[in-house]
Amino acid sequence: MPHLLERNSAAASRAGGSSFYLAMRILGRQQREAMFEVYSFCRAVDDIADSDALRHWRLARLADWREDIDALYSGRIPTGLEGLAQAIDRFSLGKGDFLDLIDGMEMDAAADIRAPDFALLDLYCDRVACAVGRLSVRIFGMNDDDGKALAHHLGRALQLTNILRDIDEDAAIGRLYLPREALHLADIGTSDPQSAISLPRVGVACAFVADRARDHFAKSDQIMSRCPRHVVRAPKIMAEVYREMLEEMVTRGWSWPRHRVHVPKSHLLWIALRHAFV
């Protein structure tokens, strides 16, 4: 099949370009390999959703993945998914979380999202980010209540930060994730992506989203502060990196032209080392 997962070293290679890579690298071997498998699955379905292929092809390929997940949980392991099957079995990963992620990818594949209301945006964030968090916290070894709470808040914080970081790239392919309520607050009456992000008051809309991301980061910090340090090393790295990106964007401002923010690799390494040995 055209969407088989890479195993072990190949999965790690796909993750290597991710800002999450160092967070995954500090985990123990079994946790690390499981995270690489989950990450590879996420990349595979995301690549389909973001493809420039016809929508019916994208939806069909995501349906193939849905069948593969069904097969994995029915004891029938599709060729190439042995590593993911092992991760599912070892860490009791939930089938619903994989399907939620596919549901989120289908939202992008079915139509370009443009100025959704905040409830729809929140559902999108839950599917494409928090579902991944719910899988990840099982691998990290968090207890169920704190793990679900962290996935809820940190997943939303990271995804809202992504939306702000990628605002120009998304507009170039016809997407606008800034919520309708934020645009109304900014007196922006259009949902056309390029038009909306070119208006001077788009910063008001972006600030609306940034404030909500900050609130979710703060709630994530509260959850992680009451957890054993060794089980939250990886999410702490993810939170710190993304919070720095968010604050750099706020400092930069939202006026055109907007340079893309990033955390230098040397600083990423410093953040990872600070959390690696606890």
Are 104 and 119 in the same domain? no
- Give the domain range for residue 193: 112-278
SS (H, E, C) the chain: CCCCCCCCHHHHHHHCCCCCHHHHHCCCHHHHHHHHHHHHHHHHHHHHHCCCCCHHHHHHHHHHHHHHHHHHCCCCCCCCCHHHHHHHHHHCCCHHHHHHHHHHHHHHHHCCCECCCHHHHHHHHHHHHHHHHHHHHHHHCCCHHHHHHHHHHHHHHHHHHHHHHCHHHHHHCCCECCCHHHHHHCCCCCCCHHHHHHCCCHHHHHHHHHHHHHHHHHHHHHHHHCCCHHHCHHHHHHHHHHHHHHHHHHHHCCCCCCCCCCCCHHHHHHHHHHHHCC
Residue-level pLDDT at 19: 61
Over residues 41-89, the pLDDT tens digits come to: 999 999 999 999 999 999 999 999 999 999 999 999 999 999 999 999 9
For residues 130 and 262, which has the higher predicted lDDT (pLDDT)?
A: 130
Residue-level pLDDT at 5: 39
For residues 273 and 83, which has the higher predicted lDDT (pLDDT)?
A: 83
Domain count, the chain: 2
Min mean pLDDT across 24-28, 134-138, 155-159, 273-277 is at 273-277
Are 57 and 76 in the same domain? yes
Are 36 and 117 in the same domain? no
Are 54 and 156 in the same domain? no
Of the residues 59, 89, 111, the one at which a domain ends: 111
For residues 17 and 99, which has the higher predicted lDDT (pLDDT)?
A: 99
Mean pLDDT score across all residues of the chain: 91
Are 131 and 204 in the same domain? yes
Residue-level pLDDT at 256: 86
Is the model's pLDDT at 6 over the cut of 50?
A: no
Q: Of the segments 53-62, 235-244, 248-257, which one has the largest average pLDDT value?
A: 53-62
Are 158 and 211 in the same domain? yes
pLDDT band at 276 (very low <50, low <70, confident <90, very high): low
Of the residues 58, 81, 111, the one at which a domain ends: 111
Are 140 and 14 in the same domain? no
Over residues 131-182, the pLDDT tens digits come to: 999 999 999 999 999 999 999 999 999 999 999 999 999 999 999 999 999 9
Of the residues 93, 111, 129, the one at which a domain ends: 111
> Quick one: what percent of the chain has pLDDT higher than 70?
88
Residue-level pLDDT at 7: 41
Is the model's pLDDT at 218 over the cut of 90?
A: yes
Residue-level pLDDT at 9: 46
pLDDT band at 91 (very low <50, low <70, confident <90, very high): very high
Is the model's pLDDT at 17 over the cut of 70?
A: no
Residue-level pLDDT at 26: 83
Is the model's pLDDT at 2 over the cut of 50?
A: no
Over residues 107-131, the pLDDT tens digits come to: 999 999 999 999 999 999 999 999 9
pLDDT band at 22 (very low <50, low <70, confident <90, very high): confident
Residue-level pLDDT at 13: 47
Are 23 and 133 in the same domain? no
What mean pLDDT is predicted for residues 242-263? 92
